[in-house]
Amino acid sequence: MRIFDPHIHMTSRTTDDYERMHAAGVRALVEPAFWLGQPRTNVGSFTDYFDALVGWERFRAAQFGITHHCTIALNPKEANDPRCAGVLDVLPRYLAKDGVVAVGEIGFDSMTSAEESAFRRQLALAVEFALPAMVHTPHRDKEGGTRRTLELVEESGIDPGMVVVDHLNELTVAPVDAHGCWMGFSIYPDTKMDPDRMVRILQDRGTDRVLVNSAADWGRSDPLLTRATGDAMLAAGFTDDDVDRVLWRNPVEFFGQSGRLLLDELAGASTASTVDASSTFEGNSVLRGQQVT
């Protein structure tokens, strides 16, 4: 089973996770820019993080045979802090970089006017840079938030096929589907979606425009829940081809619209992907220079 996790925050994970993900079949992923837990107080704090996403984390993933992409944005939660507003001005220089495959995560957290204005501006950037948009839906008032999200997507003029609306559930999937956007589902150990609920949604709606991710953020989460969903699909009678469509070809199709996927590098690396992580670490001058312990 080959897996492309379309939404996973590797910054919050360990090298053990990278090893287990590779063993489970994960060969590519997208890490969206998000909130780091501790609120940031200035623009430089964001640019250091964005540089880590396009540089350091991609390098770290490659040590484990996984191709790393990212999305860049001012996240909804921090869009409420006026000290972070200047982040919107530095986004264009990141949105032009290799391996940046979407604008995201954007959208609503608490549905404030500051969030709405950052959301509008970043949808416009997605249109300007001809990039897909990854849209986060709020955890509270998910239905109201999803409705308002779809209104703003429509107003922006972006092609709905360039938008994934993420963290959906049984109640919010229908309007997103009706708008022609891609439908993202985050599978969690004990909240939101689990593998069996995900299988039932796939049985109801089919595999078209569906992206399944493990999110794997600061809360209790599991980076192998993409694999668990593939296994649950097979147990429920889906074919290997169905699983490959959901867990590999769909994310390739969606993020491929950016023209920035790095999967050619993966093809080159796959012959050498039995990387011995420990020897690679010791042999690498970049890592040695950074005194990784």
- For Zn ion, the binding residues (CB under 5 A) are 34
CA distances from 123 to 84, 88, 192, 203 (A): 18, 12, 26, 32
Q: How far is the CB of 58 from Zn ion (least distance, A)?
A: 18
Q: Which residue is nearest to Zn ion (CB)?
A: 34
Structural tokens at position 110: 């608490």
Q: How far apart are CA 163 and CA 176, in angstroms?
A: 10
Q: How far is the CB of 7 from Zn ion (least distance, A)?
A: 6
Closer CB to Zn ion, residue 177 or residue 217?
Answer: 217
Closer CB to Zn ion, residue 79 or residue 243?
Answer: 79
Asked if 116 and 80 touch (Cβ cutoff 8 Å), the reply is no
- ∠ CA 71-192-165, rounded to 5°: 35
Closer CB to Zn ion, residue 31 or residue 65?
Answer: 31
Q: How far is the CB of 167 from Zn ion (least distance, A)?
A: 8
Q: What is the CA radius of gyration of the chain?
A: 18
Q: How far is the CB of 31 from Zn ion (least distance, A)?
A: 9
Closer CB to Zn ion, residue 30 or residue 243?
Answer: 30
Structural tokens at position 279: 């020897």
Query: Which residues, other chains included, contact 55 with Cβ-Cβ below 8 Å and sequence gap of 6+?
Result: none
Closer CB to Zn ion, residue 34 or residue 254?
Answer: 34
Question: Is 56 exposed, middle or buried (CB count within 10 Å of its CB: 0-12, 13-18, 19+)?
Answer: middle
Q: How far is the CB of 97 from Zn ion (least distance, A)?
A: 20
